[in-house]
Amino acid sequence: MSKSKRNGGLRFQPAGGSRAPQVPVGKKQRLNIERLAGDGRGIAFVEGRTWFVSGALAGEEVEARVLNAHGKVVEARLERVFSASAERREAPCRHFDRCGGCNLQHLPHADQLELKQRLLAEQLQRVAGVAPEHWAAPLSGPEFGYRRRARVAVRWDQKARKLDVGFRAEASQDIVAIDDCPVLVQPLQSVMRHLPLLLRSLAKPQVIGHVELFSGTALAMLVRHTGTLGEADLAKLKAFCVEAGVQLWLQGEGEPAAVEADQQLGFELEPWKLTLAYRPGDFVQVNAGVNTAMIEQALDWLAVQPGERVLDLFCGLGNFALPLAQQAAEVVAVEGVQAMVERAAANARSNNLNNVRCFQADLSQPLSASGWATEGFSAVLLDPPRDGAYEVVRKIAALGAKRLVYVSCNPATLARDTLELIKQGYRLKRAGILDMFPQTAHVEAMALFEVG
């Protein structure tokens, strides 16, 4: 916001009269919720404004408190329910009314899946004008105890002289004090219960930036610090990790580093007897069970034959590339970050897969300039970030692949890229959701495209 707006300075008004007064933060409003938005919040309309109310369900009459307001959009959080939806359940987590992490706990898991399925279908129809020839059943697992990675917020309150430890509140920089989180895998729940007391016992807790927890082939804790850790504080951190059976990693100015240099961290893909090494900061899917089911479905849909060459774009650590390499004659794995390319290649070598070639490329640009793109492929797998893969898919038919699996973490960009693939002669054969983040409105999806 500009300084003149903050201080009430002079500014031009739009034609048609003066601007309506803004809705103040903290104001409470009685609302009738008409439907759910794509992010799971309830939508209501009052005096020309659209209200987005977290914690509310369609058909409910509620009281909501304003968190933020801009223009004709008001963001609010549920305060009271006057008339509840038949779908509403008691949120299992006691921090639900404040924590900004899991915003759908008040909706039964089956209804969460139905909501995500509907959001994907609406995006495909609205943007690309298509529905898949076949809807796949949702891939899901346990609705709690699934998350194998978590970032814990830490902030020193100078005025109160205390350390806040927990997760961010919704639409706020406030930290909700949390020492238990039911979506974490069980071993991390144990670490989380004791973490706040440990950090508050440090002589200089104000140098702690944040803490990340990991569960894989080992448990690990990364401590990001903005100043020098004293010897006594470092000794406390080490002792805690030894007692909890957790690797200690530290990150100051440079890259994360294990305190014990020989320690290794990774995750297993059990159906394929593969182990992939990673370091804190690398991207890994947080839900191990759904990740395995996702890979199995991708391999089933691509149906790679022994003599075929496969292209894996946005390959990361090799999550798809290595299982694909057990079926294909050759896998070309491409990633934008050179360090990740090197780790994917190392993972292929450590698993004795000699038919994986790894390359670095700017995947926000067309592929035609890359030498490996001219060799031709039978099948392609894409697993892009939220921005999607528009530039990549614009000319992807030139690769010659008859089958393409697109794994998406954003239905909007999947729908946009689907339209581009259809223009190139691909048909949307199958699609379905991947419930990677139960209790949240985050939608992951998989789509199969075939030529002809």
Q: Residues marked as binding for [4Fe-4S] cluster?
A: 93, 99, 102, 181
Phi, psi of 292 (to 5 degrees): -65, -45
409 counts as catalytic: yes
What's 173's DSSP letter? S
Distances (CA, A) of 311 to 12, 211, 355, 430: 55, 36, 12, 20
Q: How far apart are CA 227 and CA 233, in angstroms?
A: 12
Residue closest to 362 by CA, chosen among 347, 377, 373, 350: 373
Say if strands 134-135 and 73-83 run parallel, antiparallel, or are unpaired: unpaired
Among 241, 315, 358, 409, the active-site one is 409
Assigned token pair, 191: 């670490």
Cα→Cα distances 213→69, 147, 280, 405, Å: 34, 10, 9, 31
Phi/psi of residue 257, each to 5°? -140, 140
Calculate helix-pair angle for 231-244, 186-200, nearest 10 degrees: 160
Measured in degrees and rounded to the nearest 5, phi and psi for residue 381 equal -120, 130
Strand partners, 266: 277
Q: Quick count: other Cβ atoms within 10 Å of Cβ 145?
A: 16
Provide the pairing of β-strand 28-32 with 379-382.
Answer: unpaired
Are 192 and 179 in contact by the 8 Å Cβ rule? The answer is yes
Count of CB atoms within 10 A of residue 240's CB? Answer: 19
Q: State the binding site.
A: 93, 99, 102, 181, 285, 314, 319, 335, 362, 383
- 146: tokens are 């699934």
Q: Helix (H) and strand (E) counts for the chain?
A: 9, 23
For the annotated binding site for S-adenosyl-L-methionine, the residues are 285, 314, 319, 335, 362, 383
- For 3, other C-beta atoms within 10 Å of its C-beta total 7
Residues with catalytic annotation? 409
